[in-house]
Chain A
Amino acid sequence: MEKITLASQLLQYLITGLTVGSVYAMVAVGFNIIYNVTEIINFAQGEFVMLGGLIMVFLHVAMGLPLILAFPATIVLVTVIGILIDRLAIRHIRHPSVFTLIIATIAVSIIIKGMASFIWGKDPFDLPAFSGRNPINILGAVIQPQYFWVIGFLVIAAIALSIFFDRTIIGKAMSACADNADAASLVGINVKQMVLLSFALSAAIGAVAGITITPISLMEYDRGAMLAVKGFGAAVLGGLGSFPGAILGGLIIGSIESFGAGLIHSGYKDAFALIVLLIILFFKPSGLLGSTEISRIKRF
């Protein structure tokens, strides 16, 4: 066993931080997808991650479905739940204001959490790592192979989404709703369908985050709220509405959390991300990559 040097320890913190940060980044991207189309801050965003993890455990471990089938099946199921949230709750609010929408998504999130505790109980669940648990040694840092899966899926999701929004008609239609919903509906875009699609997409990416992180950090029913707050912190840090910002914000928040827990105080691990969120809200609410101009038009 070689000696643990400070440098290797720092590298360890960095890689752990980037991995956790990838999950926050995916949650933040999920926030942005819905926010861009609807100006809703979906407080239930973290529940998609929780559901992704737990449904995957159910399909893969309990039902014995192979990984290659359980993975897409989980994404589909969580996506359906995302669609149901829009169809059953959000769409029926008669006078949607930012105020009522916040409260509605909070309601949805505690209903989902309650159901999850009903179905899965309160214990955390483990999921086998995708490619084993033999740690890889890089410059003295010990790294689980699963870490690469998490970071890899963030990259895949980012590429897929940027192709979707820049190259496809539907993606461009969604971007149009983001710019101006009234104008979008004037040129024949079905805004309601775009809202539905935004919930579906956002649920899907949440599910991916949940599936990939569960082998590392386990998953239990009440993980959603904290993931949502941290993901929101990442979204605000990067600039609400900006996809590159969300990814950057997520990676930064994950790293701050990992270094903070390692070097300062592990008990306050969860507080670091929130303190960053407060600082950003107070001093630069438009975020690192957000534009002040856009934030002036938006209601939130």
Chain B
Amino acid sequence: MLRIAKLPIAIFALFIIVFPWIARQIPAIGNYTDIMVFVGIYCLITIGLSLLMGYAGQISIGHAAFFGIGAYISGVLTAKYGMNAWACMVIGMTVAAVVAALVGAPSLKLKGHYLAMATLAFGIIVFIIFNEEIEWTGGPDGMSGIPGLSIFGFEFDSVERYYYLVWGFVLAAFVFTVNVIQSGTGRALRAIHASEPAASAMGVNVSRFKILVFVYSAVLASLAGSFYAHYLNFINPSTFDLFFSIKLLIMIALGGMHSIWGAIMGTGLITFLSYEWLRYFEEFEIIVYGVILLFVTVLLPDGLAGVPKIVKGWFRRKVSDER
């Protein structure tokens, strides 16, 4: 997907703007605005991850850690030290960037998917730290009392206000990422995905680009974590466990690795599944996720974003059969 048309983005933005109004009209989906806040928060992570996985061809199974770093830095610094929430967000993103560079640089220089294993181990280590450093994080019980967000006296204290705040950031990240994909950087990333030796023969600094994308995705995940902490006012480690990292993977695989639209679709679907539609399954939702992931990997390698192409090909074959 070389060109990303402007029209769909405009339509999507319009949909996001009117959605809370629609949800208010229909009682059955009255709580959907609240869920959409989480969709937005997770979209921030998956937009970055889709750039990493779909365009740079690297798997991370540890992004829950960066999400958690953002959430805990925001949570601890605002709730315990009373610091400015926006400043904490920037601190969180900076820390995430530095950590990502430290973890990513050595493993991304290696061939293959060492990043998958390094991030997996890293994610679990960070999860253990959240659990063990009780003095700061509150341990497994979590920490509460994280203040909401406000700017110049304007409080983001209702679901709808927070919705517009989060989605404003999502759209900004989306447009920025789309611009990256369409720039020379995007071409370099696709070249890396297609063939690393070829890309490097063409003068692309492969490991530098991969590290950059990894850091970018970590920064977005940290930002999402800060929004999460300020929205719920409470965090505990189980939000940031290995399974969340896998869930992010499912969102992206379901939507389609090579499409940033796919990432958003997948995030929306999986979030609604876990917050609303799969509540009856309770603990066993994990089986549903596993089946979805396997189904997509085996039958829809391009995810939902690849469905139109499959349908088109199917029609074409049918038409040519009839002739």
Contact = CB atoms under 8 A, between A and B. Distances in A.
Interface of A: 41, 89, 92-95, 98-100, 102-104, 106-115, 117-118, 122, 225-226, 229, 232-233, 236, 265, 267-268, 270-271, 274-275, 277-278, 281-283, 285, 298-300
Nearest to A273: B121
B297 A103 contact: yes
Nearest to B253: A103
Nearest to B288: A114
A158 B219 CA distance: 45
The main secondary structure of chain A at its interface with chain B is: helix
B132 A268 contact: yes
Contacts of A268: 128, 132
Nearest to A296: B111
A111 B106 contact: no
Contact of B124 (A95, A106, A270): A270
Contacts, number: 121
B305 interface: no
Interface string B272-300: 00000000000110110111011001100
B128 A271 contact: yes
B246 A100 contact: no
Contacts of B298: 89, 92-94, 104
Contact of B297 (A98, A107, A115): A107
Contact of B286 (A99, A108, A110): A110
Given A100-B301, A102-B59, A107 B293 contact: yes
Interface of B: 57, 59, 61, 103, 106-107, 110-114, 116-118, 120-122, 124-125, 128-129, 131-132, 242-243, 246, 249, 253, 283-284, 286-287, 289-291, 293-294, 297-298, 301
Nearest to B129: A271
Given A110-B290, A270-B124, A281-B110, A117 B118 contact: no
Given A268-B132, A299-B112, A118 B59 contact: no
Given A232-B117, A285-B110, A275 B293 contact: no
Given A122-B283, A226-B124, 16 more contacts: A89-B298, A98-B112, A103-B59, A103-B253, A106-B61, A107-B297, A111-B287, A111-B290, A112-B290, A114-B287, A229-B117, A229-B124, A267-B131, A278-B125, A299-B112, A300-B112
A111 B294 contact: yes
Contact of A114 (B61, B118, B124, B290): B290
Contact of B284 (A95, A114, A298): A114
A298 B253 CA distance: 25
Given A100-B297, A267-B132, A300-B112, A117 B121 contact: no
Contacts of A103: 59, 249, 253, 293, 297
A265 B134 CA distance: 14
Nearest to A103: B297
Nearest to A265: B132
Contact of A281 (B106, B129, B243): B106
Contact of B117 (A114, A118, A236): A236
Contact of A89 (B118, B287, B294): B294
Nearest to B113: A98
Nearest to A113: B286
A286 to B, nearest CB: 10
A268 B129 CA distance: 8
Contact of B294 (A94, A107, A300): A107
A110 to B, nearest CB: 4
Given A89-B298, A102-B116, A285-B114, A274 B121 contact: yes
Contact of A274 (B110, B116, B124, B286): B124
B294 A270 contact: no
Contacts of A89: 294, 298
Contacts of A300: 112-114
